[in-house]
């Protein structure tokens, strides 16, 4: 085995802490440091997962000369700046999705990564979920023939108000990007045309941000295949992620609505639970994703999900936004 990759984690929100824990548990990596502006949190997480040290300033983390790689789990608006800093220090980078809300910003990040010749993986964890991995394999094996329709469902159980900054359409650009990424990945074709409708039906406050809580998006792929995606912030029953690919010889359904294996039968009928949140649904995918990051950095293989792929997903999200605003179908420029 090669030496352990020394990793730092910047940003210790919900997902940042998961990243720290997963790095700490990887035999192939070592949790060198964590950083959060909230000193208490940084200290506690460092202690819990035996990080060698903690910082309250991200720049200090990026300057840690012992680091090989950094995980950027900070606010989306800070991603690009942090990527640029980390790249400048020669650090390999794992950054949460979306990389940014604007293509120009992603381009700046990509340029910095290219110039520094560092590795940069973007956190589309669904690509590492065993169900999605098996789906892709079956598509490649021809099990369902030629894919002709992509369907995506991404529904949060509520609008996570605190996490969203004002002024950004997070429904298309933060929630929807997962589906835009899956669409390209599973269909093996780029999106050519997009039409989006949306509404603010449950959280009026979202309208103030130019955001929405429910959306339906139609896609046409370059190879002629079709797609549709629905996004919602009000799946009160749980975290509901389902994906479907229809081919000319069969179909695949990915996603399930049951967390534990308990089914309860009473006079009220037959009932079971649902995954409450993305950290539960993709717990395993998050682990495999980071293990893959470490492994590809160590082996020098090309990144599984590079910054260029993230750019394309965001590009689709921006086209969806434009379509929604203009009430016109939007042709992708490629």
Instruction: Name residues contacting a copy of itself, limited to 284-323 (CB under 8 A).
Output: none
Residues 6 or more apart whose CB falls under 8 angstroms from that of 220 comprise 191, 192, 193, 194, 226, 227
For the bound state, the minimum distance from the C-beta of residue 177 to a copy of itself, rounded and expressed in Å, comes to: 19
- In the complex with a copy of itself, the residue whose CB is nearer, 93 or 294, is 294
End-to-end CA distance of the chain: 42
Q: Are 316 and 169 in contact (CB under 8 A)?
A: no
DSSP secondary structure string for all residues of 287-329: HHHHHHHHHHHHHTPPPSS-HHHHHHHHHHHHHHHHHHHHTS-
Instruction: Name the DSSP class of 225.
Output: -
Contacts of 324 by beta carbon, 8 Å cutoff, 6+ apart:
172, 196, 197, 198, 212, 215
- Which residue, 74 or 243, is less far from a copy of itself as judged by CB? 243
**Contacts to a copy of itself from residues 174-193, by CB under 8 A:** 193
User: Least CB distance from residue 232 to a copy of itself, whole Å?
Assistant: 6
The count of chain residues that interact with a copy of itself, using the rule CB under 8 A, is: 82
Q: Which of residues 132-151 bind a copy of itself (CB under 8 A)?
A: 132, 134-135, 138, 143-146, 148-149, 151
226 to 265, contacts with a copy of itself by CB under 8 A? 226-228, 230, 232, 234-238, 240, 246, 248-265
The Cα 221–Cα 297 span in angstroms is 32
Among residues 54 and 58, whose Cβ is nearest to a copy of itself?
A: 54
Site string for a copy of itself, 191-230 (x = CB under 8 A): --x-x-xxx-xx-----------xxxxxxx---xxxxx-x
User: What does the DSSP 8-state code read for residue 47?
Assistant: H
Find the shortest distance in angstroms from Cβ 6 to a copy of itself: 14
Is residue 333 within the footprint of a copy of itself (CB under 8 A)?
no
Binding piece for a copy of itself, criterion CB under 8 A, among 56-64, 124-132, 293-301, 310-318: 124-132
């Amino acid at each position: 085995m090669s030496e352990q990759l020394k990793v730092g984690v910047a940003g210790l929100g919900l997902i940042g802490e998961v990243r720290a824990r997963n790095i700490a548990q990887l035999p192939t990596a070592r949790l060198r440091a964590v950083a959060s502006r909230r000193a208490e949190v940084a200290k506690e997480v460092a202690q819990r997962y035996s990080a060698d040290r903690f910082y309250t300033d991200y720049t200090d983390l990026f300057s840690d000369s012992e680091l090989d790689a950094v995980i950027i789990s900070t606010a989306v608006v800070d991603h690009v700046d942090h990527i640029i800093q980390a790249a400048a220090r020669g650090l390999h980078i794992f950054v949460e999705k979306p990389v940014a809300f604007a293509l120009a910003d992603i381009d700046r990040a990509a340029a910095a990564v290219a110039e520094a010749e560092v590795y940069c993986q973007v956190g589309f964890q669904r690509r590492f979920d065993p169900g999605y991995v098996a789906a892709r394999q079956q598509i490649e094996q021809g099990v369902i023939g030629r894919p002709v329709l992509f369907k995506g469902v991404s529904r949060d159980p509520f609008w996570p108000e605190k996490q969203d900054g004002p002024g950004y359409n997070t429904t298309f650009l933060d929630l929807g990007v997962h589906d835009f990424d899956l669409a390209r990945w599973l269909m093996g074709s780029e999106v050519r045309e997009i039409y989006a409708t949306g509404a603010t039906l449950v959280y009026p406050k979202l309208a103030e941000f130019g955001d929405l809580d429910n959306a339906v998006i139609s896609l046409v792929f370059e190879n002629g295949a079709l797609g549709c995606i629905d996004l919602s912030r009000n799946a009160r029953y749980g975290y509901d992620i389902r994906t479907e690919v229809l081919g000319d010889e069969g179909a695949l359904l990915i996603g399930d609505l049951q967390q534990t294996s308990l089914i309860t039968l009473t006079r009220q009928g037959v009932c079971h639970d649902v995954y409450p949140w993305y950290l539960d649904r993709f717990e395993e995918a998050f682990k495999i994703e980071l293990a893959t990051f470490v492994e590809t950095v160590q082996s020098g293989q090309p990144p599984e999900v590079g910054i260029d792929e993230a750019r394309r997903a965001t590009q689709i999200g921006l086209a969806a936004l434009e379509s929604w605003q203009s009430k016109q179908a939007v042709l992708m420029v490629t």
